[in-house]
Amino acid sequence: MSVKAEFKVSAPPFRWDESGGIRIGQSRVTLDSLLAAYHSGFTPEEIAFQYSVLHLEEIYSAIAYYLNHRQEIDNYLEQRRQKAQQQRSELSQQYNLVNLRQRLSDHALQAQGELISDASTS
């Protein structure tokens, strides 16, 4: 008696977004996020709980693809990390984000003080 089984091989559930990132399936979850959870020790089931928009088979497929193409995916992740660092640096220089919270707080206190003094002179 012979048993015949057919298997369907499917492509990983990846799609490129407008910023050059890889998304999982039709969700907005990035491969970066999924792999960060995986590298933090989360199981595929825990990742599915964390990202309820993902199907368990998409998570397993993405992890399997990563394990079979580790060098390419690690290169992609490193490029994304460098791009994010460059963008943070540019924003910091362009908008002087140093002490932003303190300046906003000072401005709010100043505005509040002006409101109080306006109310007392009326």
Could you give the angle at the alpha carbon of 97 between the alpha carbons of 96 and 98, nearest 5°?
A: 95
Asked if residue 1 belongs to a domain, the reply is no
Spatial distance between the Cα atoms of 67 and 32, rounded to a whole number of angstroms: 14
Q: Side chain identity at 37, as an amino acid letter? A: A
Percent of the chain exceeding pLDDT 90 equals: 58
For the stretch 26-58, pLDDT in tens is 999 999 999 999 999 999 999 999 999 999 999
- 45 falls within a domain: yes
| Token duo for residue 70 | 């580790």
Q: Is the pLDDT of residue 119 over 70?
A: no
Residue 51 sits in a domain of what CATH number?
1.10.10.10
pLDDT in tens, 54-84: 999 999 999 999 999 999 999 999 999 999 9
Domain count, the chain: 1
What is the domain range of residue 117?
14-121
| Residue 5 in domain | no
